[in-house]
Every structure is written in C-alpha cells, then in structure tokens.
Amino acid sequence: MINMQLTFEESMERAKEILDSANQIVALLGVGVVMECGALNYLNNEVIYRIEDTYHRSPDEIMSTGFYSARADRFFQYYKEEYLADRCKPNETFMALKKLDDEGRLKACITTNTHGLEKEVGIRKVIELYGSRNVNWCTKCGKRFLVDYILNSKGVPVCDECYNPIRPGIRLYGEMIRNDVMTEAANACQEADALIVLGTNFYDSMVRFAINHYRGDKLILISKHEHFRDKSADIVIHEEVKEILPKLVLDK
C-alpha cells in the first residue's frame, strides 16, 4: 500500500515492524551506501572535472570496454591510481545487514557496488551485479588475483603463470551484466517478503529491475537524496542509511 502521509516517526515504526517480522529480506545497495563509508562519487561534477583534467577523458569513457581494449596501459594507470585507490571500510549499515544475516533473515544482498564490503563483513549471500574489484583474472588461464597484485604490478598486470594480461573483475561500460547474475537477483527479489533499497533511488535501472520482480508490499527505501519516483515505495525515509538502518535493526 502506498502511503505518503506517514510522518518520519510513523515511517520508522512501520519499517521496524516490517523488518522485525520479515524472514526473507532482500537488500539492494546503491552507491549512496559506499559513499557514506567514504567512497568517491563518480557522478559528482568536481570528481569528473578533476579526472578529465588529469586523464583527458571522463571516468565513464576510461572505464569502458572500448578504452580498455584500445589503451590497456592508460586504463590500468587510471584503474590503479583512482579506482582501486578509492578504498573504504564497512560502516554501521553493513553491521546491521550482517545482523540480519546472522539471524538467518537476509535472503540476499544485491549490490551495484564493487568494493566488496558486503563480503568483507561476512554476509553469506551477496550478488555483485557489476562484479568485484577483489576478483581480477587472467584472460588466458583464468587464475584469480587480488587487488594488491594489480596495485603492485607495473603497467598492464600480467599473470604470474602464463604471462597473459589480467583483466579487472568488474563490469566495464559497454559490457552486459552476466545472465546468471541477473537471474539470481531476479529470483531473490521474487522470493523476498521484504525488499529494502538502500542508498539509491527508483531512477536506477537496477532498482526498477528488482522492483519488477518483487511481489510483496513491503518495499522500504532509505536514501539521503530524494527522487520523485521514490513515492512508489511503501515506506520512504530520506536520511543517511547509516543513521537509519542500524536504528531499525540493531536497537532492540
């Protein structure tokens, strides 16, 4: 049921009731969640200008399959200096999600972030739609490499066994999200009894994808930044996720 008349307190109360009684919770995490952990926002104009100044291309252009194929050296310069250098640590939001997982009530954590914070705190079922920066692999033999191996390599990183180039385990612009990953995410949403959308909004195509597969009426959106489409959620709370989710989950 859509109800935009709820006050903040009523929304909090209702969201708490929903999360307390749900047993198949799916959380969908957007960029807002990692920004609250200190990650850079690549949609921020200042960040974009700085990167264009330094690398003479926009972040989106550099992180594209075309640029990666044509200029692997320049790609990896950026990837190491900017993308991998953008490190952050899990905050209270992740502790709250971990608690739901420990209670056996978190069905899945679907994320559009590549920092790997969900796995870092030990959440068991993580669906990384855009891949992970922690998984890089050899294009020839498939051997996997951690971030530090990439950071410590000179130029284009190569496999220590077969000397072929390593590619990053994230989705580049121009690449499709893997089918099996999309199916997994769709199935999780279909079976969810509550869906919490965190740090993103209904403008995001992945959020719309998830919602299209969710059949329930317990859709909670928590995001600092408002978007006019947000009203499609059953409960909307426009605050920082790290302020709200712990109150809903950790305060008993």
| 87 to 126: interface string for Zn ion, x by CB under 5 A | ----------------------------------------
Tell me if 162 contacts Zn ion by CB under 5 A.
yes
Of 43, 70, 141, 146, the one binding Zn ion (CB under 5 A) is 141
Q: Which two tokens stand for residue 3?
A: 């109800």
Choice between 16 and 140, CB closer to Zn ion: 140
Choice between 152 and 179, CB closer to Zn ion: 152
CB of residue 159 vs Zn ion: minimum separation in angstroms? 3
Tell me if 150 contacts Zn ion by CB under 5 A.
no
CB of residue 143 vs Zn ion: minimum separation in angstroms? 5
CB of residue 144 vs Zn ion: minimum separation in angstroms? 10
CB of residue 138 vs Zn ion: minimum separation in angstroms? 3
Choice between 85 and 162, CB closer to Zn ion: 162
Q: Which stretch binds Zn ion (CB under 5 A): 102-110, 130-138, 189-197, 219-227?
A: 130-138
As a whole number of angstroms, the distance between CA 185 and CA 227 comes to 23
Of 159, 195, 198, 244, the one binding Zn ion (CB under 5 A) is 159
Count of residues of this chain found to bind Zn ion when the rule CB under 5 A is applied: 7
CB of residue 163 vs Zn ion: minimum separation in angstroms? 7
As a whole number of angstroms, the distance between CA 246 and CA 242 comes to 7
Q: Which stretch binds Zn ion (CB under 5 A): 45-53, 69-77, 157-165, 209-217?
A: 157-165
Q: Which residues bind Zn ion (CB under 5 A)?
A: 138, 140-141, 143, 159, 161-162
